[in-house]
Amino acid sequence: MVLIDGQSGSLSTTNNLVRVRVTRSVQGQWTLARDLSGGRSFGAEPNSPATDNTYQRSATVGVSLLYSSANGRNFYFDDFFVTDTTAPLLVRAVAVDARTVDAVFNEAVDSAAASQPAHYRLATGAVPATAQVSALNPAVVRLTFATDFSSTNQLQVRQVADLYGNLAAGPLPATFAGVPVAPKPGELLITEIMARETPVVGLPASEFVELYNNTPGKVLSLRGVRLLKPGSSTAAVLPDTARLLPGQYAVVCGSTRTAQFASYGKVYGPTNFPSLTNAGDQLVLRGRDGTTLFEVAYADTWYRDQRKAAGGWSLEMLDPANYCGGAENWQASQDASGGTPGRRNSVATANPDRTPPTLLRAVALTASTIRVYFGEKLDSAAAANPALYAVQGSASTVPVVSRAAPLGPDFRAVDLAVSPALQPSQPLTLTVARATDCAGNASGPLRATNVALPEAAQPGDIVLNEVLFNHAPGGVYFVELLNRSLRYVSLQGYQLSHQKTSGTGTAIISPPVPYVLAPGQLVALTSAPIFCKRSTPRAATRRRCWP
């Protein structure tokens, strides 16, 4: 490649002393200048300068000569001198992963200055934890930060010098995009659910859920994210190319229904999309590593409108900042079409959770395990501290809590490992020093609750104590059970037979979760516990209403 051809006929004598100077600017502009007397009064060649950026750097420099065989020994060179008076420039910044970025300069930089993390800063003020000059290419410095990048970032560099000591005081700016990152819990949400799609109001007659990127600046990679119902053997897996920008929505529906939602924005149709039960269901989003990202257990009572609960209207989340909120943070859509797939929810409003969790009850599952139930979702990391739980009793040896395991996917319960073993029907008192919910609200010491290892009941221990078969308007039917014994008895798996005089009937299995009835304790079995409590307020202090 020839960039500048010197003027022909410039030299015609036998002995010619010539000094040559070649310069290249940062922009790639080459200049050839010479002094034919051997001095330093350089004059540029007529066709100089020329611009070329084909090669940004080289390992060597040399002279190539084209001559006749007679002049092979008549060339001599001396006074080679290479200098640089230009400070380095930041060419670009390239994200390597969620927290690592390469700062690329136009020339090699001095490692002493370039390895100082304090010389680099994001526009947010974040400073890297480490700065390392590449051994393979000293024009590249790899920076590692403590937190994930946003979708758009600006790097600023100061006080970096090249190998000749030319200092770039800066700031030298470069903008770079963050790479898509896997979502963390609370960053990817389900914000809308269409479970009863008919009768149609205005949306396609198909079930769907809406996903939302609940971050201010991260691009989320949804690669391998699974949508499932707990207990199911299959899951809807999002494709490798799926991603969401900050604040962006996406509709997820059955694989054969994507065309129906094409006009609503981003849509994914994975196979094995779960069937959404009209009356209520539990849905979970899990990351590729199995981490629970989001969980919701909706019910048809969440619509707060019987007409809309009949079909054609979606359930919408009120406040994504309160994503752990249950029924209080959802209601039927107010949009005339029946929902808002792919866009901001019609019911969107601030709905913060400022209430700390409550302790509901505790049940001894085995002689070495106590399960503690709370009134809302907990911060699973905080709840895993065994020092928060204490067992007290009158026995000479009181069990000690050695491990606390919050139970996913909703984290409303914690299993405590205790030793020595619990003794049957020996009541103990459990206290919780502090409980923190998903929103960060922390309680003070929670009230004590009794717990005991249950025993098998004997005939006559548990009896039907009261039956309401003709309730008042607004009330509900219930059957009351009484523990007449001195034993603590678990009712899990018990069956209540609704048998007619003809011999036919149904068996009702109750309750669905571990429940222990203490000596002398009452419990009412009913289809609607809240109405049961309202209809019998005087009994509320002695009897619990159980679904």
Q: Is the pTM of this model over 0.75?
A: no
- Domain range summary for the chain, segments of one domain joined by +: 1-82, 90-177, 188-332, 359-451, 462-546
Q: What is the largest CA-CA distance in the chain?
A: 133
pLDDT digits (tens, 9 = 90+) for 201-249: 999 999 999 999 999 989 999 999 999 999 888 999 999 999 999 999 9
Of the spans 49-53, 364-368, 489-493, which averages the highest pLDDT? 364-368
Query: In b/e form, how buried is each residue of 240-254, taking b as 16+ CB within 10 angstroms?
Result: eebbbebeebbbbbb
How many whole angstroms separate alpha carbon 351 and alpha carbon 327? 12
Range name among 173-187, 364-378, 385-399 with the lowest pLDDT average: 385-399
* CATH no. for 462-546: 2.60.40.1260
pLDDT of residue 509: 62
pLDDT digits (tens, 9 = 90+) for 291-321: 999 999 999 999 999 999 999 999 999 999 9
Radius of gyration for the chain, computed over Cα atoms and rounded to the nearest angstrom: 37
* CATH no. for 90-177: 2.60.40.1220
Q: Which residues contact 470 (CB under 8 A, 6 or more apart)?
A: none
Same CATH topology for 90-177 and 359-451: the answer is yes
How many whole angstroms separate alpha carbon 425 and alpha carbon 452? 5
pLDDT of residue 530: 61
Split at pLDDT 50, 70, 90, the class of 432 is very high
| Cα 138 versus chain centre, distance | 36
pLDDT of residue 492: 84
Instruction: Classify the C-alpha dihedral 462-465-469-473 as positive or negative.
Output: negative
Residue in the structure block whose two tokens are 């005087």: 538
Q: With 60 as the cut, is the pLDDT of residue 11 above it? A: yes
pLDDT of residue 532: 57
How many whole angstroms separate alpha carbon 544 and alpha carbon 536? 11
Mean pLDDT of the chain: 90
How many whole angstroms separate alpha carbon 444 and alpha carbon 435? 7
Q: Give long-range contacts, CB 8 A cutoff, 24+ apart: 496-503.
A: 496/525
Q: What is the DSSP letter of 162?
A: B
Q: With 90 as the cut, is the pLDDT of residue 322 above it? A: yes
Q: Which helix (H) or strand (E) holds 306?
A: helix 306-309
pLDDT digits (tens, 9 = 90+) for 477-487: 888 999 999 99
Q: With 80 as the cut, is the pLDDT of residue 503 above it? A: no
Q: Transcribe 347-389 into DSSP letters.
A: T-----------EEEEEEEETTEEEEEESS-B-HHHHT-GGGE
Which superfamily does CATH assign the domain made up of 188-332 to? Lamin Tail domain (2.60.40.1260)
Q: What is the mean pLDDT of residues 93-102?
A: 94
Parallel/antiparallel/unpaired status of strands 543-546 and 522-526:
parallel
* CATH no. for 359-451: 2.60.40.1220
Pick from 95, 105, 110: nearest CA to 143:
95
Split at pLDDT 50, 70, 90, the class of 63 is confident
Q: What is the mean pLDDT of residues 49-73?
A: 79
pLDDT of residue 545: 56
pLDDT digits (tens, 9 = 90+) for 342-390: 999 999 999 999 999 999 999 999 999 999 999 999 999 999 999 999 9
Main-chain dihedrals φ then ψ at residue 371, nearest 5 degrees = -105, 125
How many whole angstroms separate alpha carbon 367 and alpha carbon 478? 32
* DSSP-assigned beta bridge partners for residue 141: 103, 133
Type of residue at 121: R
